[in-house]
A = this chain, B = another copy of it.
């Protein structure tokens, strides 16, 4: 089973802000691949991820994978257990409650900071993304839905060019996304509601408090479905 370390592998989008040139290129690809996998729910909570496994899967040596796993563990997107094993953390009611609270504190704030930097072109982009989201909801494509929902929110947040709040929110999304996926796999996507259209309208009208309300409401709506499931899971088997 000799690894080749040659296949460039597909680089599925991913928010890589690493060095675009040669320095740390492989690490950047690995980071983008795993991040994207977490955000779209391709990693199952509780499932262990192995260095060598990911390495051969991505066609690279174990070295960059080791570094990326440490990075993601530092962002609490992955969990390093006492035996050194790395796994996607399981969701607990306490964790869920904290993530929800943190999102409600940070995301409306950052959205407001981005508000006056969002152009008409951004509104068009957001509208386009939201249309695709609606299509995914009816078609039931959970993976595409998650990717697009992330894109919608972070297209807003990224406009703030924040160096502090944005990474914190990034960390939060990495923490709840894998759990989201398992829920959608169970209850489907048809029940999903969002307040994206309210957000877009608030951006058009440059209304800060309306945007805050839309983001808050969207978070509450989106996490509401998840909350019921986590409680069901925690009490039952």
When chains A and B are docked, how far (Å) is the Cα of A165 from the Cα of B76?
11
A67-86 interface bits toward B, Cβ cutoff 8 Å, 1 = contact, 0 = none: 11011111110001011100
For residue A223, CB closer than 8 A to chain B, the reply is: no
For residue A109, CB closer than 8 A to chain B, the reply is: yes
Q: A175–B168 contact, CB under 8 A?
A: no
| Copies of this protein in the complex | 2
Name the residue among A66, A109, A164 with the largest chain B CB count within 10 angstroms: A164
Instruction: Say which residue of B73, B102, B165, B175 sits within 8 Å of A101 (CB atoms).
Output: B165
Give how many A residues have a beta carbon under 8 Å from the other chain's beta carbons: 38
Q: Name the residue of chain B whose CB is nearest to the CB of A167.
A: B76
Q: B80–A24 contact, CB under 8 A?
A: yes
Closest CB-CB distance, A115 to chain B, in whole Å? 15
Closest CB-CB distance, A169 to chain B, in whole Å? 10
Closest CB-CB distance, A109 to chain B, in whole Å? 7
Q: Name the residue of chain B whose CB is nearest to the CB of A82.
A: B19
Among A38-46, A91-99, A186-194, the one that faces the other chain is A91-99
When chains A and B are docked, how far (Å) is the Cα of A172 from the Cα of B165?
10
For residue A106, CB closer than 8 A to chain B, the reply is: yes
Residues in B whose Cβ lies below 8 Å from that of A75: 74-75
When chains A and B are docked, how far (Å) is the Cα of A106 from the Cα of B98?
11
Residues in B whose Cβ lies below 8 Å from that of A71: 70-71, 73-74
Closest CB-CB distance, A130 to chain B, in whole Å? 27
A145-174 interface bits toward B, Cβ cutoff 8 Å, 1 = contact, 0 = none: 000000000000000001111011001100
Beyond the given A76-B164, A106-B106, please list 20 additional residue pairs across the A-B interface where CB-CB is below 8 A.
Answer: A23-B82, A23-B84, A24-B80, A24-B84, A66-B67, A68-B70, A70-B74, A74-B74, A74-B75, A76-B163, A76-B167, A94-B163, A95-B164, A98-B163, A99-B164, A102-B106, A102-B165, A105-B106, A105-B109, A167-B171
